[in-house]
């Protein structure tokens, strides 16, 4: 279900694809822990701010029934809404981050949950705004906008609300729909409990005697084991267990797809896809072009698998051969070195960006190392308009950690630039553009690492890791997007989906992408239950944006690195635009049209160039 732009009471935390597991470390140096007193100087200040928001909330009611009175009243209502939203973003960011430092801290978690409850009170208090704006109507609102300069910053979000008039129902129906959200999130809760808590995960013994418990974290860790027999055993045990629960996962996902279609239909959208894309006004041609281009370019993906087989010394590639690195790199990337390398890599972006990222990485805005109880993975949090963004890492001194640092501060700098250039109502960027800023930094980092690599071994490692990134973020996410579209279309045709049916559909797509019929990589029946493991399928057409974002970022990075005149300014202009327009339009204005084949073809071309480079090194070695 779309969140109205005016009533966005969820934090813009960017959930990134890769999640490194957290682990204990030595007592932290304060320089490596973010300083949350920059948000509130102490607990008392936080409590006072929370009390203020609670006290300010009822003021919204004064505007109910008065939004159409005159332009000044509408402006005051918008200002109050923005102010309340800003108060909430600061409280919510602080509470969530404080809790993420140590998820075992019950008091911190309670504070965070209290702010979540306050957010839902805020959302309820503001729920009259959208229907009332629609009732006031476009004609009156256009007149208000023309007469009241103070309304200018609200033009885009207000017009966006009006755009949805054909899909907004009467007050009674909207109220029913709003209450139904309490039951329509059941499929994803069911998935979450089953996949994260209830499933009796298997434990296997690896070749060296290690007992490996294959829960989700264990699977992620051991699936890239160097020993091929270990990998096969990991896959057979893990997917064998998932297969036992195929029926239950099937019920959960079928219910989710039916829920999506229910929401789309009652809001008079022709399809679940149309409903999902309508939120950010992304043209359907973006989605369809992505899928068409991915399929047209499967030979490049197959070329990658064949090269991978060659480098791993495996002639009969299987699904358990896609995760181990093709080349090992012993080199360590301690945090200080990672900062230096990130800084060196973003030099092409110019003085302003360099100054911003230096301040970001040198200031106390990053929670660097794993700690007992700390949230795993990495994220950037930049919702607070008048505060510096923060980044959470679990830095492990490996190349992936370096790459994550560049990635997350890519998000962080996007927030810095947008918050500086845009007023609060227009600053927050959408997920459709978010991953451009992060993966562009990764592309710049790769270029830099290749330039300074000491030998071919190191070069091969970076090239291999870049290829793997493009496979995982482009081809794999597009494959998921194709599956998502297929299963929604089945339900829209009135067909039921059992776990078995989902496995058949997924298996067909998985085999096509991996060149099973062409003898590239054989897909065993057991792994075609993989759909059951993917949490993103409960987020309604979300994953395609990873694929479109990386296609766009490769295009921007290529222009920047080629010193194309104006390339840096155009790219930074996109970041500075924040959420001031629809994201597809912003990217298009910056010269990359994601509804056309060009950006996808450029990404594929880049994969081929990387493979040419790898093959040249291998040829030199006579391999």
| Chain positions contacting Zn ion, by CB under 5 A | 14, 16, 438
CB of 277 to Zn ion, least distance (A): 21
What does each C-alpha distance from 365 to 33, 376, 391, 407, 423 come to in angstroms? 7, 17, 6, 15, 22
In the complex with Zn ion, which residue's Cβ is closer, 406 or 607?
406
In the complex with Zn ion, which residue's Cβ is closer, 257 or 418?
418
In the complex with Zn ion, which residue's Cβ is closer, 161 or 438?
438
In the complex with Zn ion, which residue's Cβ is closer, 16 or 607?
16
Query: H/E element holding 391?
Result: strand 390-392
CB of 407 to Zn ion, least distance (A): 6
Measured between alpha carbons, how far is 565 from 476 in angstroms, rounded to an integer? 33
In the complex with Zn ion, which residue's Cβ is closer, 168 or 394?
394
Residue 408 known to be catalytic: yes
Measured between alpha carbons, how far is 434 from 281 in angstroms, rounded to an integer? 16
CB of 378 to Zn ion, least distance (A): 8
In the complex with Zn ion, which residue's Cβ is closer, 422 or 438?
438
Reduced DSSP (H G I as helix, E B as strand, rest coil) percent helix, strand, coil of the chain, to 5:
70, 5, 30
Candidate list 408, 442, 482, 484, residue with the active-site label: 408
Residue 100 near residue 374, CB atoms below 8 Å: yes
In the complex with Zn ion, which residue's Cβ is closer, 14 or 433?
14
List the Cα angle 283/285/288 in 5-degree steps.
130
In the complex with Zn ion, which residue's Cβ is closer, 16 or 603?
16
CB of 557 to Zn ion, least distance (A): 15
CB of 15 to Zn ion, least distance (A): 7
CB of 549 to Zn ion, least distance (A): 9
In the complex with Zn ion, which residue's Cβ is closer, 14 or 394?
14
Quick one: residue 366, left, alpha or beta (phi over 0 = left, psi -120 to 50 = alpha)?
Answer: beta
Angle separating helix axes 246-266 and 499-514, nearest 10 degrees: 90
CB of 553 to Zn ion, least distance (A): 11
Query: DSSP 3-state assignment of 374?
Result: coil
CB of 14 to Zn ion, least distance (A): 5
Measured between alpha carbons, how far is 447 from 452 in angstroms, rounded to an integer? 9
List the Cα angle 358/362/364 in 5-degree steps.
130
Contacts of 63 (CB under 8 A, 6+ apart): 73, 76, 77, 80
Measured between alpha carbons, how far is 343 from 409 in angstroms, rounded to an integer? 10
CB of 409 to Zn ion, least distance (A): 11
Residue 549 near residue 280, CB atoms below 8 Å: no
Query: H/E element holding 106?
Result: helix 106-125
Instruction: Spell out where 104-213 has E strands.
Output: 203-205, 211-213
Query: DSSP 3-state assignment of 70?
Result: coil
CB of 443 to Zn ion, least distance (A): 13
Q: In what order do the strands lie in the sheet with 366-367?
A: 366-367, 390-392, 379-381
Hey, what are 438's tokens? 């992060």
Strands 203-205 and 211-213: antiparallel
Give the CB-nearest residue to Zn ion.
16
Integer distance in angstroms from the first to the last C-alpha of the chain? 53
What does each C-alpha distance from 30 to 36, 364, 368, 529, 618 come to in angstroms? 12, 8, 10, 45, 46
Q: What phi and psi values does residue 206 have, to the nearest 5 degrees?
A: -80, 170
**Tokens 């059992």, located at residue:** 498
Measured between alpha carbons, how far is 274 from 200 in angstroms, rounded to an integer? 38
Measured between alpha carbons, how far is 67 from 75 in angstroms, rounded to an integer? 9
In the complex with Zn ion, which residue's Cβ is closer, 53 or 402?
402
Q: Which residues are known to be catalytic? A: 408
């Amino acid at each position: 279900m779309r969140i109205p732009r005016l009533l966005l009471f969820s934090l813009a935390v960017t959930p990134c694809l890769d999640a490194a597991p957290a682990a204990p470390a030595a007592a932290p140096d304060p320089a490596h822990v973010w300083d949350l007193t920059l948000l509130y100087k102490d607990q008392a200040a936080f409590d006072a701010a929370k009390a203020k928001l609670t006290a300010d909330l009822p003021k919204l009611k004064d505007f109910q029934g008065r939004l159409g009175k005159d332009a000044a009243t509408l402006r005051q209502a918008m200002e109050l809404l923005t102010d309340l939203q800003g108060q909430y973003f600061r409280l919510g960011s602080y509470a969530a981050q404080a809790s993420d430092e140590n998820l075992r801290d019950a008091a911190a978690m309670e504070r965070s949950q209290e702010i979540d409850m306050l957010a839902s009170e805020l959302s309820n208090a503001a729920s009259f705004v959208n229907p009332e704006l629609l009732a006031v109507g476009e004609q009156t609102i256009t007149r208000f906008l023309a007469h009241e300069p103070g309304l200018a910053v609200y033009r885009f979000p207000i017009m966006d609300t009006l755009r949805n008039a054909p899909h907004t129902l009467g007050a009674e129906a909207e109220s029913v729909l709003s209450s139904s959200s309490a039951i329509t999130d059941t499929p994803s809760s069911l998935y979450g409990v089953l996949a994260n808590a209830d499933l009796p995960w298997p434990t296997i013994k690896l070749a060296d005697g290690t007992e490996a418990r294959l829960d989700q974290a264990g699977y992620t860790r051991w699936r890239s084991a160097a020993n091929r027999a270990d990998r096969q055993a990991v896959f057979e045990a893990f997917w064998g267990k998932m297969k036992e629960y195929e029926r239950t996962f099937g019920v959960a996902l079928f219910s989710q797809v039916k829920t999506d279609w229910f929401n789309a239909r009652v809001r008079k959208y022709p399809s679940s896809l149309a409903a999902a894309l309508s939120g950010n006004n992304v043209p359907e041609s973006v989605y369809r072009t992505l899928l068409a281009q991915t399929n047209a370019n499967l030979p490049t993906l197959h070329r990658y698998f064949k090269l991978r087989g060659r480098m791993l010394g495996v002639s009969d590639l299987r699904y358990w051969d896609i995760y181990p690195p093709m080349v090992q790199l012993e080199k360590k990337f301690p945090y200080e070195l990672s900062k230096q390398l990130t800084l060196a890599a973003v030099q092409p972006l110019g003085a302003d960006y360099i100054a911003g990222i230096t301040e970001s990485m040198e200031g106390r805005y990053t929670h660097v190392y794993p700690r007992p109880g700390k949230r795993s993975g990495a994220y950037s949090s930049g919702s607070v308009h008048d505060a510096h963004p923060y980044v959470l890492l679990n830095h492990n001194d490996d190349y992936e950690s370096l790459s994550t640092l560049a990635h997350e501060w890519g998000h962080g700098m996007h927030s810095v630039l947008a918050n500086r250039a845009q007023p609060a109502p227009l600053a927050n960027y959408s997920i459709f553009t978010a991953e451009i800023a992060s993966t562009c930094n990764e592309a710049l980092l790769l270029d830099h690492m290749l330039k300074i690599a000491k030998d071919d071994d190191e070069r091969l490692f970076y090239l291999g890791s870049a290829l793997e990134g493009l496979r995982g973020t482009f081809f794999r996410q597009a494959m998921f997007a194709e599956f998502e579209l297929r299963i929604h279309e089945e339900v829209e045709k009135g067909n039921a989906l059992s776990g078995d049916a989902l496995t058949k559909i997924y298996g067909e797509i998985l085999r096509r992408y991996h060149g099973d019929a062409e003898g590239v990589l054989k897909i065993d029946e057991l792994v075609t239950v993989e759909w059951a493991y993917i949490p993103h399928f409960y987020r309604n057409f979300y994953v395609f944006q990873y694929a479109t974002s990386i296609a766009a970022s490769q295009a921007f990075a290529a222009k920047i690195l080629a010193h194309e005149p104006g390339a840096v300014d155009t790219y930074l202009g996109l970041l500075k635009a924040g959420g001031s327009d629809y994201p597809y339009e912003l990217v298009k204005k910056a010269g990359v049209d994601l509804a056309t084949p060009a950006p996808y073809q450029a990404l594929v071309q880049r994969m081929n160039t990387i493979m040419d480079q790898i093959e040249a090194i291998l040829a030199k070695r006579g391999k």
